[in-house]
Chains A and B, each alone.
Chain A
């Protein structure tokens, strides 16, 4: 690397990094000086995270039993709910988007379903499914299906008329039209919906574990609250922040790959 480009690279990294670093340092200094019970030092939070979750062997990335069992339980619920809602949302949404009539009939119901705050239905789901995985999945699926569904309807509707007619003239089968015309046209919107759903499913996963669970990250938070263990609560919050950040970054990575192909194909056409 030439010194010039290295220098500009260093400047660029510094311009992004300096404020977070300063913030954490100030946070540490202030909390260490004040010793407020509710606002522990970042170092204390970090220490607590290590003690609670990272005492395991290196082969498990230092994660201990407590971490793996609870994290996998939470992530498992979240992903199952998200995937089920995503598949249902895309299939229903694309079907509805291709039929103006059917979506006219269902529109008020869908708008209402989206406006209903999912937590208001949690007690209902608890009484139907009892406390446990089913109720948690129901909460997550009901809460996150709307962005995917409504965006898929919108996306499928936006398929280019000329392309659809061309496909018809060339005698393409319905499946081919779906695969090569409608889905590519709807893909950007579908991905926007999926991304929103992913962050919503993290929220609803935590909510469902706070009200009814026997394990998981949300349940650990609740236990920390009952024990009045403030550093442990902060540790849980930081963990969820990191988790959200990683999930979003992974999603963007996948989205870029899938939609890059889409952009390329559009450019060729």
Chain B
């Protein structure tokens, strides 16, 4: 573990040094790729930039809002489809058609239709991140141990009781995996929507604003680095949460990509 950390750290340092050397030695023009030291410096400076912090908060806000709605819609729908095979078969045609529609393609229409900026962004985020949650929930519902279900049923528990006591608990690790996948998709869509629609605040708005200036490429990249860092931290946090909460269960994460 320690060795891996040291090696990983070394890898990052070597990468930064190489990129820095490439620009310093003019192998890559600094107007094309700003020196890494400048990007890192800007990334540090941005943490004290109140305007940028407001942008970060705005992105986190629509992202979190989108996630809440995604879970509120996706989980009940997944439970419904996962526990009623007849409904599932009937809905399959609709799901298979809606799922591949790339959600960024909805941005132009959502801009025209939506009454508010928040509504537009949330719609786009929810549309994209709904699928991992829905599919994983359905998958989890189908993986429920039939023996446990039958046991409860033979003890005279009703359908809802079986759902609450057996099906839902055993599906939660799958749901958690779905939410984690949805979170990373949601961040991509939040930034996309900001980039395409503008608006007053957001990481995407910041990047858009800065990229129209001259010699601001280091700031653009620094903001992108922060977007990546936020995604990484949230992803790792969710993985950690899954590991501690569902120690009794190891989910195959690739199950429902």
Contacts and interface: CB of A to CB of B under 8 A. Distances in A.
A18 interface: yes
Contact of B227 (A18, A120, A234): A120
Interface residues of B, number: 63
B9 A108 contact: yes
Interface in B103-121: 103-109, 111-113
Interface in B183-237: 184, 187-188, 191-192, 195-196, 203-204, 207-208, 210-211, 217, 220-221, 223-225, 227-229, 231-232, 235
Contacts of B220: 123-124, 127
A228 B224 CA distance: 32
A45 B5 CA distance: 55
Nearest to B192: A119
Contact of B105 (A18, A105, A117, A206): A206
Contacts of B103: 203
B8 A233 contact: no
B254 A105 contact: no
Nearest to A223: B108
A19 B96 contact: no
B231 A117 contact: yes
- Which interface residue of A119, A196, A218, A233 has the most chain B CB atoms within 10 A? A119
Interface string B73-104: 00000000000001001111110111111111
Contacts of B94: 19-20, 23
B238 to A, nearest CB: 12
A128 B217 CA distance: 10
A159 to B, nearest CB: 17
A106 B14 CA distance: 10
Interface stretch (A54-62, A83-91, A236-244, A255-263): A236-244
B211 A225 contact: no
Contacts of B146: none
A222 interface: yes
A233 B203 contact: no
Given A120-B224, A123-B220, A237-B109, A107 B8 contact: yes
Contacts of A247: 100
A104 B106 contact: no
A221 B108 contact: yes
Contacts of B12: 108-109
A107 B217 CA distance: 26
Contacts of A192: 254, 257
Contact of A20 (B97, B99, B211): B97
Contacts of B203: 120
B102 A202 contact: yes
Contact of A234 (B109, B195, B207): B109
Nearest to B188: A117
Contacts of B207: 120, 123
A127 B211 contact: yes
A199 to B, nearest CB: 6
B7 interface: yes
A116 to B, nearest CB: 3
A118 interface: yes
B53 interface: no
A119 B102 contact: no
Contact of B111 (A15, A120, A127, A225): A225
A118 B108 contact: no
B93 A20 contact: yes
Given A116-B224, A228-B112, A122 B195 contact: yes
Interface string A61-74: 00000000000000
Contacts of A32: none
Interface in A1-31: 15-20, 23
7 contacts: A16-B90, A117-B228, A199-B102, A203-B103, A207-B102, A243-B100, A245-B96
Interface of B: 3-4, 7-12, 14-15, 32-33, 86, 89-94, 96-109, 111-113, 184, 187-188, 191-192, 195-196, 203-204, 207-208, 210-211, 217, 220-221, 223-225, 227-229, 231-232, 235, 254, 257
Interface pairs A-B: 8 shortest CB-CB: A244-B100, A116-B228, A123-B211, A225-B108, A19-B90, A105-B11, A115-B231, A115-B232
